[in-house]
Chain A
Amino acid sequence: EPEVTQTPSHQVTQMGQEVILRCVPISNHLYFYWYRQILGQKVEFLVSFYNNEISEKSEIFDDQFSVERPDGSNFTLKIRSTKLEDSAMYFCASSVSRGARGAFFGQGTRLTVV
């Protein structure tokens, strides 16, 4: 079965540094998402992206965050100046449409800010 691929699997960064989390969605999918999960807490929606623009974002997704689809295959999440509280698992997801089978999730990138 096709899958969503995320790299790296684990990233450690110093507070204040910029990080870019990378995702390769499933090739024929049109909708792309980022979610995060702080250790022991719920999975939280960050942003959805369709037709090369953000279609929805949560309150968490402030000016420190940005997303980009730089080419036909990658989908990235950038955190400009990381804070300790950004430490979490970040999950990328993609879907063919808003409904259908729902979104396919990657295995996540564990971001640790020290």
Chain B
Amino acid sequence: DAKTTQPTSMDCAEGRAANLPCNHSTISGNEYVYWYRQIHSQGPQYIIHGLKNNETNEMASLIITEDRKSSTLILPHATLRDTAVYYCIVRRNTGANSKLTFGKGITLSVRP
């Protein structure tokens, strides 16, 4: 699976949009971009995933650049409960390998 690079940390104000960047310059054509988050040592929580089109669900939006070498997770109206470590993971959805490889992620701190 391709490697991802994320900043170590960022913060944003409550109620504002949080834009979390991720670089995955070596991504291959059949690899998806997944985002998970982990709130204070709880189990990781799936947020969203995409291949090349932008995706939106009730939690977030995922914007993938046209060359697929980077993406941005957008939390449109961050709340204090969104304070967590966010992981950007690149993974194929086929073949024997179905594991998720977690990096260090980006720590998002939402301030009041």
0/1 per residue, A10-45, Cβ < 8 Å to B? 000000000000000000000101010100001111
- CA A45 to CA B44, docked complex, whole Å: 12
- CA A72 to CA B110, docked complex, whole Å: 41
Q: Is A105 an interface residue (CB 8 A)?
A: yes
Which B residues are CB-close (under 8 A) to A70?
none
A:33-86 near B, CB below 8 Å: 33, 35, 37, 42-45, 48, 55-56, 58
Interface residues contributed by chain A, number (CB under 8 Å): 28
Q: Is A8 an interface residue (CB 8 A)?
A: no
Q: Is B36 within 8 A of A102, CB to CB?
A: yes
Cross-chain pair count, CB within 8 angstroms: 62
Which B residues are CB-close (under 8 A) to A45?
99-101
Selected A-B contacts with CB under 8 Å, 13 pairs? A33-B99, A35-B44, A35-B100, A45-B101, A48-B99, A56-B99, A93-B44, A98-B95, A98-B98, A99-B32, A99-B93, A105-B44, A107-B43
- B binding-site residues for A, Cβ under 8 Å: 32, 34, 36, 38, 41-46, 49, 87, 93-104
